Structure 1
Amino acid sequence: MSFIISFIDYDFFSKNNYEYIFYILKFFNPIHFDLLHFKNELVLPNNNEGTYTSISLNGIIFLLTLLIGTIIYHLSNQKKSRLLHFTLLFFFVSKSVSLIFSLFNITHFIKNQPGLTFYYTTTNIFWIFFAYKAINHLNSLKTLITVSINKNEIKERVSAREIINQSLSKENTRQIPYEKATIGDRFLNYILDTFFVILIFSPNIFGLARSTEYRESIYNLGNEIGESTVLILFLAISRLIYYIISEGIFHLSPAKALTETQIHSTTESKLSFATVIGRSFSRLIPFEPFSFFSKTGWHDDLSNTTVLKNKKTGNSQIYSILFILLFVLISVIYGLNKYKF
């Protein structure tokens, strides 16, 4: 339905005073993704001469990825869920971020278009809830990879650092009987999640910077601390929100859905939302990303968490990642050619 609705001629509904039908149909097409600072749109001529329909290329790419992931999931009897898991989680985070940023201009929208504001807000909440239930179902199908533990080995491997951590912590750490993610998995998670943060947040941030209410404040902030510092600040805040939303609710990020890994508590208690917030803030420490080249990252040690591997489903993760990057590359090339950057 989303594919079909993407090609609808809005001018036809407008001329015949059927706008309400158009907005009802748009409920089933909630995908509106910009890429960085520009919109990649396919402009197609309509039956009426001189009129055109603009279609979001990024939206079509996402719908195609979601459709293929759904087909693979269905044909495999709910076993191959990697691509579907990723697209739903990416969608959930994107819609949640869009809803958060809409609150910055909510008074302006309510004042000028109260009906549409209520409609789009309730629609976003519905699709966020729908994605939430679907992701929870897919999470319930995941199982961790178990490993055997030698108790004598554990005693020998306890370091002074671990003893200090245990004495400072309210809860003793425990040996996790599951396979931990490799350095390669964690490095790939970091690279992909950083890219997804830019992809999701950049249109919202640029939209905020262009708004009449915040444009001058952001411009003045850039003059005081420098434009590059402002960009770094926005990126840091974006990463913070991104991880709190995804890992706080589902214990995995979109990249972790692709590599089939998830975060887990190293203490006796279950992983809490507050722990994830602390883990996310720990990522803001300078040079923290390089810490995962050791046995554990700083954000793991400080929050008593670790990253574990789920049992693999479907094809190798490299095929899923290359599949997504191929579509992103097509979108980027099209956007660069269109805007002649």
Structure 2
Amino acid sequence: MSSPTAQPAESYNPYEAPKADAPAALQPEERSRLRLASGGRRFVNLVVDYMGLMLFTFLVGMIFGLLGGAEVFEQANDTLLGLVMMFAYYVSMEAIFGTTLGKLVTGTRVVMEDGSRAGLGRIAIRTLCRFIPFEAFTFLTRGAAPVGLHDGLSKTRVILVRGADDAR
């Protein structure tokens, strides 16, 4: 006995993998339709992600402390520890979810230049490029829809997936 509102079995499968947000590969004319995030949104990403990185580092420190490994943090070089935490934060968030806390707040995500999902290797390159001094501000110099140094070198883009386009 089926209800009149039941969907055919082939149109709905609760066990199938989630559908991707971005198409696998866009044609060149479709690439121009990707809505790149503005410099303002990118700056908000930077600020919120800095706070997210501090929270992530705090939580990792708490876990190490509870497991009896607090001396690892006490004996580690602060700069090296900061770089490791930054790498772990960005790579884990962007590779798994395609977004970070800052990007969630601003309705943006990381994709490849063609609109497909960015893989672990590209995300790792993108994150390593963040270690270049003053790189975080390179997206502020290119107008309303900026592409930062870490975007260009890793062939990725930050696109708007939620909300209206910013006024130009």
TM over 0.5: yes
For residue 258 of structure 1, what is the amino acid of its counterpart?
A: V
Quick one: higher RCO (CA 8 Å, sep 6+), 1 or 2?
2
Deviations 1:10-62 (A, max 9, x none): xxxxxxxxxxxxxxxxxxxxxxxxxxxxxxxxxxxxxxxxxxxxxxxxxxxxx
What do the CA deviations read for 1:253-294 (whole angstroms, capped 9, x no partner)? 122111111112115875222111111111111111111212
Equivalent residue number for residue 162 of structure 2: 311
Determine if contact 1:143/1:310 at 8 Å carries over to the other structure: no
1:203 Cα deviation from its structure 2 partner: 3.5
Matched position secondary structure for 1:284: coil
Aligned residues: 140
Closer, same or farther: CA 269–231 of 1 in aligned 2, 3 Å: same
2:88 aligned residue (227, 231, 241)? 241
Q: What are the within-5 Å matches in structure 2 for residues 233-272 of structure 1? A: 233-267=80-114, 271-272=118-119
Question: How far apart in 2 are the matches of 1:270 and 1:211?
Answer: 36
Identity of aligned residues (%): 23
Which protein shows a greater Rg?
1
What are the residue-to-residue correspondences of 1:153-232 with 2, within 5 Å? Answer: 175-205=31-61, 208=64, 215=71, 218-221=73-76, 230-232=77-79
Deviations 1:108-149 (A, max 9, x none): xxxxxxxxxxxxxxxxxxxxxxxxxxxx85x85x679xxxx9
CA distance in structure 2 between the partners assigned to 1:182 and 1:255 by the alignment: 13
* Aligned-residue offset at 1:204: 2.2
Contact 2:111–2:159 (CA<8 Å) still a contact in 1? Answer: yes
Looking at structure 2, the residues matched to 210 and 197 of structure 1 have their Cα atoms a distance apart, in angstroms, of: 20
Please list every run of 5 or more consecutive structure 1 residues that lacks an aligned counterpart in the other structure.
Answer: 1-135, 152-173, 222-229, 314-341
Q: Please give the TM-score of this superposition, normalised by the length of structure 1.
A: 0.36
Shift of residue 236, structure 1, vs aligned partner: 1.9
How far 1:234 sits from its partner (Å)? 2.1
- The question of whether the paired residues in 1 share the 8 Å contact of 2:112 and 2:157 is answered with yes
Q: Is the 8 A contact 1:247 1:253 kept in 2?
A: yes
Give 3-state SS (helix, strand or coil) of 2:131's partner: coil
Query: By how many angstroms is 1:244 displaced?
Result: 1.0
Structure 2, unmatched stretches of 5+, are 1-16
Partner of 2:4: none
Q: Which has the higher helix share?
A: 1
* Superposition deviation, residue 306 in structure 1: 0.9
Which residue pairs with 2:133 in the alignment? 286
Q: 1:179 to 1:281 in 2, by over 3 A?
A: same
Letter in 2 for 1:279: R
- Judge which range, 303-312 or 267-276, deviates more: 267-276
- Aligned counterparts of 2:38 and 2:122: Cα–Cα separation in 1: 22
Task: Please report how far the alpha carbon of residue 214 of structure 1 lies from its aligned counterpart in structure 2 after TM superposition.
Answer: 5.7
Any conservation in 2 of the 1:262–1:308 contact (CA below 8 Å)?
Answer: yes
TM-score (norm 2): 0.68
